[in-house]
């Protein structure tokens, strides 16, 4: 696994050497194979991986819907691997869950769906439940729909009910398993914005499971890439998204950008090929033109992409540099805060499974 910068914050969730196998027709199937993961308090942590990578298994281990075959689960510093009885119930209440297909009760109104987990606890009176439900529906923007039934709602509205219900018992952690995968892109954006707002306002730690890099890019602080039951890459979203090191990550990043799928597979036309990454204010400055001019260097843009990672703008290009002082131009770019990676050289050499065709 490629290790990256770790944050020194309190871990809200920690998985240590987690393995999970299920009985299969031809022996045990290892869904998770030695997963170490640490989610800091208050962050939005993404787990991305393709179908069957083990994402749902991982998320179900956090709220102990599944028990690990090996290893330990810690929540808020407490080992909860074997929790049972009242402790398990308290733990489940402190962890809300949002599902891909909403899992609403069709015979209950919106308000009664949100009230349901509160009723189950037996700790709240009728008036208190009504007050809490009203506040939760206001938070997710569904006040006017309180008396409707799930079948009368759009997908996005149903997921807002799911989110309000997950927040009912004031959890410290919200687990979202493909929470936007059944929604169209616009609705996905609105639901992700709501999750970020909840994270900001309530300080709830969010673990977001998805197979879409775009969801991670616009929402998460850090991300772990899961591939066949193993964490193959982990780090701040900017690092992982802009400098993917593992084949599984490259694949997911490419899927998010069908038009720039060639970014890692361009032919070198003869110059010095470099990957330039501009983030933050550098993304808007005419740095490349100025520095190449100063060094009497020509450049050909071979591939590129621009966009945002959360609020931060970025631009990434693969360019071929040729002319008088290529080394001077590279030094000048680096001095201006541009991240320069020489292509076809050392940076990727140590990474397993890096495809051979990468220049």
Query: Which residues contact ligand ATP by CB under 6 A?
Result: 22, 29, 31, 49, 51-57, 211
Residue number, 27 or 85, with CB nearest to ligand ATP: 27
- Positions in the binding site for Mg ion (CB under 5 A): 55-56
Residue number, 53 or 191, with CB nearest to ligand ATP: 53
Q: Which is nearest to 95 in space by CA: 55, 65, 127, 125?
A: 65
Q: Which phi and psi (to 5°) does residue 234 adopt? A: -155, 140
* Contact partner at residue 54 from Mg ion, ligand ATP, none, CB < 5 to 8 Å by partner kind: ligand ATP
Helix (H) or strand (E) holding 234: strand 230-236
Q: How many contiguous H segments (helices) and E segments (strands) does the chain have?
A: 11, 14
Q: Positive or negative, the Cα torsion across 88, 89, 93, 97? A: positive
Q: How far apart are CA 224 and CA 98, in angstroms?
A: 19
Q: Which phi and psi (to 5°) does residue 183 adopt? A: -110, 155
Residue number, 50 or 279, with CB nearest to Mg ion: 50
Q: How far is the CB of 163 from ligand ATP (least distance, A)?
A: 20
* Contact partner at residue 51 from ligand ATP, Mg ion, none, CB < 5 to 8 Å by partner kind: ligand ATP
* Contact partner at residue 53 from Mg ion, ligand ATP, none, CB < 5 to 8 Å by partner kind: ligand ATP
Residue number, 56 or 199, with CB nearest to ligand ATP: 56
Strands (E), 268-345: 272-279, 297-309, 312-323, 339-342
Q: How far is the CB of 137 from ligand ATP (least distance, A)?
A: 29
Residue number, 53 or 253, with CB nearest to ligand ATP: 53
Residues paired with 96 in a beta bridge: 174
* Contact partner at residue 316 from ligand ATP, Mg ion, none, CB < 5 to 8 Å by partner kind: none
* Contact partner at residue 174 from Mg ion, ligand ATP, none, CB < 5 to 8 Å by partner kind: none
Coil, helix or strand at residue 177: strand
Q: How far is the CB of 63 from ligand ATP (least distance, A)?
A: 14
Coil, helix or strand at residue 202: helix
* Contact partner at residue 31 from ligand ATP, Mg ion, none, CB < 5 to 8 Å by partner kind: ligand ATP
Q: How far is the CB of 177 from ligand ATP (least distance, A)?
A: 7
* Contact partner at residue 49 from Mg ion, ligand ATP, none, CB < 5 to 8 Å by partner kind: ligand ATP
For residue 58, how many C-alpha atoms fall within 13 Å in the half-sphere facing its CB?
40
Q: How far is the CB of 180 from ligand ATP (least distance, A)?
A: 13
Place of tokens 């308000």: 111
Q: Is 357 exposed, middle or buried (0-12, 13-18, 19+ CB in 10 A)?
A: exposed
Q: Which two tokens stand for residue 47?
A: 């787990």
Residue number, 66 or 341, with CB nearest to ligand ATP: 66
The answer to whether 221 and 195 have CB atoms below 8 angstroms apart is: no
Residue number, 56 or 292, with CB nearest to ligand ATP: 56
Q: How far is the CB of 55 from Mg ion (least distance, A)?
A: 5
Q: How far is the CB of 264 from ligand ATP (least distance, A)?
A: 24
């Amino acid at each position: 696994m490629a290790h990256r910068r770790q944050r020194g914050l309190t871990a809200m969730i920690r998985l240590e050497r987690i393995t999970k196998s299920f009985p299969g027709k031809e022996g045990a199937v290892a869904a998770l194979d030695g997963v170490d993961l640490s989610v800091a308090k208050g962050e939005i942590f993404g787990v991305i991986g393709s179908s069957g990578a083990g994402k749902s298994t991982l998320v179900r281990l956090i709220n102990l819907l599944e028990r690990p075959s090996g290893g330990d689960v810690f929540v808020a510093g407490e080992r909860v691997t074997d929790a049972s009885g009242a402790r398990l119930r308290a733990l489940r209440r402190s962890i809300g869950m949002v599902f891909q297909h909403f899992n609403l009760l069709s015979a209950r109104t919106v308000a009664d769906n949100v009230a349901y987990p509160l009723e189950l606890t037996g700790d709240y009176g009728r008036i208190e439940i009504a007050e809490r439900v009203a506040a939760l529906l206001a938070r997710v923007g569904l006040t006017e729909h309180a008396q409707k039934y799930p079948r009368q709602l759009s997908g996005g509205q149903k997921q807002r009910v799911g989110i309000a219900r997950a927040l009912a018992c004031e959890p410290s952690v919200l687990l979202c398993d493909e929470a936007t995968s059944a929604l169209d892109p616009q609705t996905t954006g609105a639901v992700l914005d709501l999750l970020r707002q909840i994270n900001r306002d309530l300080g709830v730690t969010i673990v977001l499971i998805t197979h879409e890099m775009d969801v991670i890019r616009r929402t998460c602080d850090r991300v772990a890439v899961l591939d066949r039951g193993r964490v193959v890459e982990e780090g701040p979203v900017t690092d992982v998204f802009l400098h993917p090191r593992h084949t599984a990550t490259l694949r997911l990043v490419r899927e998010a950008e069908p038009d720039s799928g060639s970014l890692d597979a361009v032919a070198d036309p003869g110059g010095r090929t470099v990957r330039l990454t501009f983030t933050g204010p550098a993304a808007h400055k005419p740095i490349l033109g100025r520095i190449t001019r100063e060094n009497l260097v020509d450049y050909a843009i071979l591939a590129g992409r621009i966009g945002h990672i959360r609020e931060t703008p970025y631009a990434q290009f693969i360019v071929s540099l040729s002319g008088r002082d290529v080394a001077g131009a590279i030094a000048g770019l680096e001095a201006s805060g541009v991240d320069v990676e020489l292509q076809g050289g050392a940076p990727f050499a140590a990474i397993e499974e890096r495809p051979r065709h990468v220049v």
